[in-house]
Structure 1
Amino acid sequence: MNRLPVLLDADPLAPFPPAGRALREPNGLLAVGGDLSVPRLLNAYRHGIFPWYSAGQPILWWSPDPRVLFSTAPGGVHLSRRFRRSLRDSDWVVRADHRFGEVIDACATLPRSGQDGTWITADMRRAYGELHRLGHAHSIEVMQGEQLVGGLYGVAVGRMFFGESMFSANTGGSKVALAALARRLGEWDWPWLDAQVANPHLLRMGAVTRPRDDFLRIVATAAAGPGRPGPWREAFGALQARALAGPV
């Protein structure tokens, strides 16, 4: 930690260090400290930076290289032929911003293979809850009747969506949430969806990697564009999961 710039709580609008100064190991670690206030979080995302730390650690800020993205063009999120076939008879419906608290709680608490504990601490939940209250953070919810079967949440700045975490309570719930979000963003002419760091699951679903410098140029352009501040309930509407099946 001695090599890292330390952010002070007193000035949430203070600039972050340039992302190019982030460590190579661990990949992308840029700064430590500060707070999770709304101005600081929005400033971070606007510059391709996000917080990620565990309980008991100071706040750690990251900008990894390369960065992982999904295109919102048709086919940018890949659903297997078998899975799309299963969606043809699905009664799932995808909505936005109806159950933000439940989505972030599920992302924090549902067990994940190979993962012990969570980085979505109580402080993180409160901070993103405030972002949501102010219309900057959004949840995508996959519903079967009144049952939440999957979802994701993230932050929108301008015309850029930064995905934070997703979950499945029923098999495929997170896939449907991601595909539905990409469809809506594409319809709104938001070209990219940030997925932060690569893993085999995201790559199988069509995620692509970009050098950090390229990613930062994408963010600078998209974040400066007109966004959709405020709740997305009406703008997102209700998307039937079977509409994602396409030709199989």
Structure 2
Amino acid sequence: MPAVLVVAVALAAVLFWARRTPDTVVEAPPAGMPAEVSKTEAAAPPATQSATPSRPSKSSARAATLLQVVGDRYDFDPADPNGAATSLADADWLHRHGFPDADAYDRLRRASLDELEEAAKIDLRAQVILAFNMAITGRYGNRPFELLEDAAARGSIFALETWGDIHYTLKHYRNPVAGAAYYHLALRRGYFTAAGKKLIFAGTLNAEQRMLSDVYAEVAWLRLLDARKRTGTPPFAEAELRPGFEQFVATLEVAYGTPEPGTAPNP
């Protein structure tokens, strides 16, 4: 098969299976976006109530309403061309690994930072979107990455993908080597779609940069394992592959062949 056709087939495969990610804003945030949020840990459990409960803040009330509207599921609509899920099983996998559906993503992205900070106390999807929206402003230093690391350590693969997205799409955090590392970790957790993103975004990395990316991925993986150990959480179980992996591999084999003559990968 000609080299150009091989690349075309491979790109078609990864683009077909890639999660549809909404366009990312890389410029300054709209006027009125809060410049500061509380330093309270976004992943911390709700504080114990005092003997005389205080009235919930407006942000808390709006956050509760936001989460009610967002819901606690991943809706699957086979007729929706913008949906990322390809089946009910796929929708269930995405939900269990921290991904919001398209409607939830849109609503969370449009929420204020104050609302997201409140919602993040009980919902990892909100925590990841909080990190992304904070990163867009460019005013929070490493705080977005602290939130993403916490969410990833607690099982959110969406956090790993978002971490990679930040390093590729936001100019003030642009670092393709690091971005490829976090896509690699998402793949390691079973989100094979990240392989497509890594090919598209990291295809221009040279050999030295690819080596650094692999090393950074391993360092980040060890940090996640250490974070789980410190909180008494068991190590990650064997990766649960996103439904559709076998079809994805079969498509790639048409373009590239099997890893070794006469063999096929073990899904």
The TM-score with structure 1 as length reference comes to 0.28
TM-score when scaled to structure 2? 0.27
Write 1 or 2 for the structure with the bigger share of helix.
2
Q: Based on CA coordinates, which of the two structures has the bigger radius of gyration?
A: 2
Q: Tell me which of the two structures has the higher relative contact order, counting C-alpha pairs closer than 8 angstroms and 6 or more residues apart.
A: 1
